[in-house]
């Protein structure tokens, strides 16, 4: 792709680093921004810089937050004894949109994937186990996608909890194998939370 401007080429190259954005789409987006008022582009740039420099992670659940304790963990009306284990903030948003869950979350930050060099130590599994050992949790709901990596992560955490008097369950699988939670419709996902099953039963299927 030939560019008439080095500045344009640089902007396109940076934009194309985003997932799912090829060079042609990046060029279209950059040219769109070029046509917008300068104030709009400056506002976009500032919001991205602020996101990178000022965003925090909740000290309790590791969800992305503006404060040390996210709004969900700080809400006294949530059921703090129930914790739903998810991969990232997209899963939190998907489950919250169902309005069927009133417990807290624990965001792992990924799934165990040896092929990608991701082991348990790269995730927030240890802090989840520590909360469980402190006796603050009565039930842990596994809500990772039903992929090999998701199932491996669920089983690893389950083994870490052995000997603790904690109920473990998993969302009912109305969601096809390999589908991510963020793409499930709200009704199906809501029902899968409400009709969750004991984790031990999921290993027999």
pLDDT at 185: 59
pLDDT at 98: 87
- CATH T-level assignment (fold) for domain 6-54: Helicase, Ruva Protein; domain 3 (1.10.8)
Q: Does domain 57-202 sit in CATH 3.30.230.10?
A: no
> SS in 3 state form for the chain?
CCCCCHHHHHHHHHHCCCCCCCHHHHHHHHHHHHHCCHHHHHHHHHHHHHHHHHCEECCCCCCEECCCCCHHHHCCCCEEEEEEEECCHHHHHHHHCCCCCCEEEEECCCCCEHHHCECHHHCCHHHHHHHHHCCCCCEEEECCCCCHHHHHHHHHHHHHCCCCCCEEEECCCCCCCCCCHHHCCHHHHHHHHHCCEEHHHHCCC
From the list 152, 135, 126, 142, the residue with the least C-alpha distance to 181 is 142
- Same CATH topology for 6-54 and 57-202? no
pLDDT per 10-residue tile (average), the chain, 205 residues: 88 95 96 95 95 94 95 96 94 90 96 92 95 93 88 93 91 53 60 71 58
- List Cβ neighbours of 70 (8 Å cut-off, separation of 6 or more): 58, 60, 61, 63, 64
Domain ranges of the chain: 6-54, 57-202
pLDDT at 110: 94
pLDDT at 190: 67
């Amino acid at each position: 792709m030939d560019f008439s401007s080095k500045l344009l080429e640089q902007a396109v190259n940076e934009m194309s680093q985003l997932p799912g954005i090829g060079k042609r789409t990046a060029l279209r987006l950059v040219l769109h921004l070029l046509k917008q008022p300068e104030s709009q582009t400056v506002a976009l740039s500032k919001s991205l810089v602020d996101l990178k420099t000022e965003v925090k992670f909740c000290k309790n659940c590791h969800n992305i937050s503006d404060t040390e304790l996210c709004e969900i963990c700080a809400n006294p009306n949530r059921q703090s004894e129930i914790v739903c284990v998810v991969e990232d903030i997209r899963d939190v948003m998907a489950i919250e949109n169902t309005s069927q869950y009133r417990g807290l979350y624990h965001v792992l930050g990924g799934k165990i994937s040896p092929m990608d060099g991701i082991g348990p130590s790269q995730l927030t599994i240890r802090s989840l186990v520590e909360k469980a050992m402190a006796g603050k949790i009565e039930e842990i709901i596994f809500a990772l996608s039903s992929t090999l990596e998701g199932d491996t992560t669920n089983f690893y955490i389950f083994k870490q909890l052995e000997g603790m008097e904690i109920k473990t369950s998993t969302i009912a699988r109305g969601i096809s194998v390999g589908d991510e939670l963020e793409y499930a419709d709200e009704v199906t996902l809501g029902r899968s939370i409400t009709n969750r099953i004991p984790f031990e039963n999921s290993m027999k299927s």
